[in-house]
């Protein structure tokens, strides 16, 4: 399939994103593709735990709610939907999606990309990138997922399926793949891979390029933030792209919003590594070409890395968090005294404890002065985490005067460290699920 | 004056690294930012939170400075004990720097 230009939209930038702007894009934007990026670093590890408890789970818990709204519209408008909501169980996500298509009597097939789960290939003695310590020494390893590239998605796109589900795929690759498919690009060409990766990088956080995570009243105003629209890009065969959003939605697309997103999370602008390319941002330029319209061009690329990054999830213990408020004159000193008391009482546990006074109003003698002591600790088990919370709760009657509003939470923590694997050890696969054969 | 008056900033995170992208509101102020907002000044200004080295990249076509701050997130997003585990607020904290 070769087109002069193609329009690709972004329908989610993280697991907790809003769905309304995605539905609006699918309905009104004339999209060819809509991509929903829903996997943060930890999301797969959390999904893996749900999958261990129930082999039918492990995909994005919001998948059904999102697709209930989105797929009927996408089918009617002929928009292909790509998403990593498969998380730790893409095949189960595919089955849920197939069932949903049948319920709504929608035609179509679901292409599921697997192969990112590389737990079986993992060498636990290999050092983590972050600290050089062996992967297995961080705690019980629960997941290991390779960041697949656009090449892993192309066979799924070749099936013509209108819904493509994946687990871990590098965020920009979710966009590069459909662009390459529509525009006839060669992924082995670093310039084309760079152009598509740049577009993907700009779109992957959805509202963050249309004025979300941006407004600063009186300095950087964003009109209609409550009705923030999500972005799309018109991408030409030569890689130049024009970013925009739906008329009538809130938000803004201008050089400032685009620049902020352009460098977001980029730890080396001279060589941003993805599975598809090493992208150089130094030659990229952004030009406003109309209201809420910015043209992007100039991405340069170098040949993709030989290894794939692997994200490893491990059990890191339990995090306790507990807070208490002090107000009025001398509030900050009472909060700091409470911090000292709790720290001393927990001194014998050997836990890593952080006690901090939040809010800086307590030193002024005002009735409205208020600050909050926050105590956090990482404990090896839930019992010790409860102990931390208990020591904050007991400040009510065993601490400084006038402490109120204790809230405590304990969460088990999945830590993430990174390593890499040679590409040859990672084997992406595509499974095609037919929705129509149920009708038979 | 505060950096906030002439520049805007976005924070991103990757592991224990915080990226702080700094842009002038007016392109004419880019040279001023380049001269004044050095990696060392950013490191000193955020010393309570950033424990490792700070690298600065210049992107003149975008009028941008990219600060890559190591050991900035209390060990990283997943196991941090901070309230703002992602370091999202670091961007605004940087803009409190006096120019």
Q: Are A165 and A177 in contact (CB under 8 A)?
A: no
**Cβ-defined contact of A260 to B21 (cutoff 8 Å):** yes
Q: How far apart are the first and last CA of chain B?
A: 6
DSSP codes joined into one string, A175-187: HHHHHHHHHT--T
- Delimiting residues of CATH 3.30.70.600 domain(s) in chain A: 315-418
Q: Are B30 and B63 in contact (CB under 8 A)?
A: yes
pLDDT surpassing 90 at residue A369: no
Find the mean pLDDT for residues B21-27.
98
Task: Read off the pLDDT of residues A261-313 as tens digits, 9 standing for 90 and up.
Answer: 999 999 999 999 999 999 999 999 999 999 999 999 999 999 999 999 999 99
For the domain bounded by A315-418, which CATH number is listed?
3.30.70.600
* pLDDT computed for residue A437 by the predictor: 61
Collapsed DSSP state (helix, strand, coil) of residue A352: strand
Map out the domains of chain B with their CATH numbers.
Answer: 3-96 (3.30.70)
**Cβ-defined contact of A130 to B76 (cutoff 8 Å):** yes
Work out the mean pLDDT of chain A and round it to a whole number: 95
Task: Read off the pLDDT of residues A114-141 as tens digits, 9 standing for 90 and up.
Answer: 999 999 999 999 999 989 999 999 999 9
Give the distance from residue B65's alpha carbon to the nearest chain A alpha carbon, in angstroms: 9
Which residue in the set B10, B25, B78 is minimally distant from A413, CB to CB? Answer: B78
Q: Are A403 and A376 in contact (CB under 8 A)?
A: no
Find, among A145, A276, A270, the residue nearest to A200 by Cα: A276
Task: Read off the pLDDT of residues A175-203 as tens digits, 9 standing for 90 and up.
Answer: 999 999 999 999 999 999 999 999 999 99
* pLDDT computed for residue A121 by the predictor: 93
Residue whose entry in the numeric block shows the structure tokens 């809509």: A34
Tell whether A127 lies on the interface with B, counting CB pairs under 8 A.
Answer: no
**Cβ-defined contact of B10 to A213 (cutoff 8 Å):** yes
* pLDDT computed for residue A108 by the predictor: 86
Task: Read off the pLDDT of residues A225-269 as tens digits, 9 standing for 90 and up.
Answer: 999 999 999 999 999 999 999 999 999 999 999 999 999 999 999
Tell whether B16 lies on the interface with A, counting CB pairs under 8 A.
Answer: yes
Find the mean pLDDT for residues B48-73.
97
**Cβ-defined contact of A285 to B76 (cutoff 8 Å):** no
Find the mean pLDDT for residues A400-419.
95
Length of chain B (residues): 99
* pLDDT computed for residue A439 by the predictor: 46
Q: How far apart are the first and last CA of chain A?
A: 31
**Cβ-defined contact of A130 to B8 (cutoff 8 Å):** no
* pLDDT computed for residue A117 by the predictor: 96
Cα R_g (chain A), whole angstroms: 24
Asked if the ipTM is above 0.90, the reply is yes
Tell whether A170 lies on the interface with B, counting CB pairs under 8 A.
Answer: no
pLDDT surpassing 50 at residue A1: no
pTM greater than the 0.90 cutoff: yes
Find the mean pLDDT for residues A159-174.
98
Task: Read off the pLDDT of residues A21-47 as tens digits, 9 standing for 90 and up.
Answer: 999 999 999 999 999 999 988 888 889
């Amino acid at each position: 399939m070769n087109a002069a230009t193609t329009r690709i939209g972004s329908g989610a930038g993280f697991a907790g994103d809003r769905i309304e702007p995605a539905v609006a894009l699918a309905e009104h934007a004339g999209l060819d593709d809509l991509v929903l990026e829903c996997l943060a670093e930890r999301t797969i590890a959390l999904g893996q735990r749900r999958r261990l408890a129930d082999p039918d789970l492990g995909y994005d818990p919001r998948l059904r709610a999102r697709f209930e709204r989105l797929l009927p519209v996408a089918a009617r408008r002929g928009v292909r939907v790509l998403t990593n909501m498969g998380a730790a169980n893409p095949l189960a996500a595919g089955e849920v999606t197939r069932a949903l298509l049948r319920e709504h009597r929608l035609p179509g097939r679901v292409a599921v990309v697997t192969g990112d789960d590389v737990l079986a290939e993992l060498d636990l003695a290999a050092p983590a990138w972050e600290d050089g310590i062996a992967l297995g020494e961080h705690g019980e390893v629960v997941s290991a997922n390779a960041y697949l590239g656009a090449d892993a998605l192309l066979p799924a796109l070749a099936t013509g399926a209108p819904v493509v589900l994946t687990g871990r795929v590098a965020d920009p690759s979710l966009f590069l793949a459909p662009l390459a498919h529509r525009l006839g690009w060669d992924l082995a060409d670093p310039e084309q891979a760079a152009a598509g990766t740049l577009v993907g990088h700009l779109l992957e956080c959805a509202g963050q390029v249309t004025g979300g995570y941006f407004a600063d009243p009186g300095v950087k105003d964003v009109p209609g933030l409550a009705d923030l629209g999500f972005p799309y890009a018109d991408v030409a065969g030569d890689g130049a792209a024009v970013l925009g959003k739906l008329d009538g939605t809130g938000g803004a697309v201008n050089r400032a919003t685009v620049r902020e997103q352009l460098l977001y999370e980029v730890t080396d602008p001279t060589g941003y590594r993805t599975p598809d390319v090493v992208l150089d941002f130094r030659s990229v330029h952004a030009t406003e070409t109309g209201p809420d319209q910015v043209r992007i061009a100039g991405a340069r690329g170098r040949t993709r890395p030989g290894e794939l990054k692997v994200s490893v999830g491990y059990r890191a213990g339990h995090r306790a968090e507990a807070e208490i408020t002090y107000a009025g004159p001398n509030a900050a000193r009472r909060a700091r005294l409470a911090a000292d008391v709790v720290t001393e009482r927990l001194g014998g546990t050997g836990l890593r404890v952080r006690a901090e006074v939040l809010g800086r109003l307590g030193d002024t003698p005002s009735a409205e002065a208020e600050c909050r002591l926050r105590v956090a600790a990482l404990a090896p088990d839930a019992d010790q985490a409860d102990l931390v919370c208990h020591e904050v709760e007991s400040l009510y009657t065993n601490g400084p005067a006038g402490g109120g509003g204790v809230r405590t939470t304990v969460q088990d923590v999945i830590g993430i460290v990174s390593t890499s694997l040679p590409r040859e050890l990672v084997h992406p696969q595509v499974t095609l699920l037919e929705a129509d054969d149920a009708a038979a | 004056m505060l950096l906030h008056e002439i520049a805007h900033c976005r924070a991103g995170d990757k592991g224990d690294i915080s990226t702080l992208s700094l842009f002038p509101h007016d392109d004419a102020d880019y040279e001023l930012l380049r001269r004044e907002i050095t990696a060392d000044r950013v490191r000193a200004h955020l010393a309570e939170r950033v424990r490792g080295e700070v690298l600065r990249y210049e992107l003149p076509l975008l009028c941008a400075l990219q600060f890559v701050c190591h050991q900035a997130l209390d060990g990283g997003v997943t196991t941090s004990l901070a309230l703002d585990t992602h370091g999202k607020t670091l961007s605004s904290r940087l803009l409190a720097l006096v120019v």
